[in-house]
Amino acid sequence: MYLEGTVEWAPAGLTTLPITVLPLSINLGVPGTFRIWRDAIGPAGVNVFEITDTSSLLNLTLSALVLPLTVTLAFNPTTTSFHFVDQNVPPGTHTYFLTVDVPPTSRGITTSAFVFTAEEINPNPPV
């Protein structure tokens, strides 16, 4: 089964961080892990593919240069594209699912466009 997808996504909303101590390291991107599952999402299904992409920073705003300060991060839309051939498909009819996971510290993501397609390259043998 040939699987292909393109997702345009961005972290949801603005991320605001209160800073009270320095030095501080700030991650300037939010990773998103895209997974393709066969037959079900999670332990009941088969994770046949995954890829991680990271959003890019649009801007960073500092409220002041003395402590405490607030940093606000805004992110650009990111386009993640992938293709994969699921070569070990058992006979029969199957359903594929596309999911995305982001770190629990983010507010989730928004998608502005996505395409997920599947095409059978060779027919499965009869059941």
Nearest-angstrom CA–CA distance, 92 and 97: 17
pLDDT at 17: 66
More confident residue, 1 or 121: 1
pLDDT at 19: 72
Averaged over 76-81, what is the pLDDT?
Answer: 92
94 and 81 in contact (C-beta within 8 Å)?
A: no
Q: Is the pLDDT of residue 123 over 70?
A: no
Tokens of 73: 């991060």
44 and 81 in contact (C-beta within 8 Å)?
A: no
pLDDT tens by residue, 64-74: 777 777 777 78
45 and 38 in contact (C-beta within 8 Å)?
A: yes
101 and 77 in contact (C-beta within 8 Å)?
A: no
Nearest-angstrom CA–CA distance, 127 and 125: 6
Nearest to 89 by CA among 41, 50, 123, 115: 123
Classified as helix, coil or strand, 67 is coil
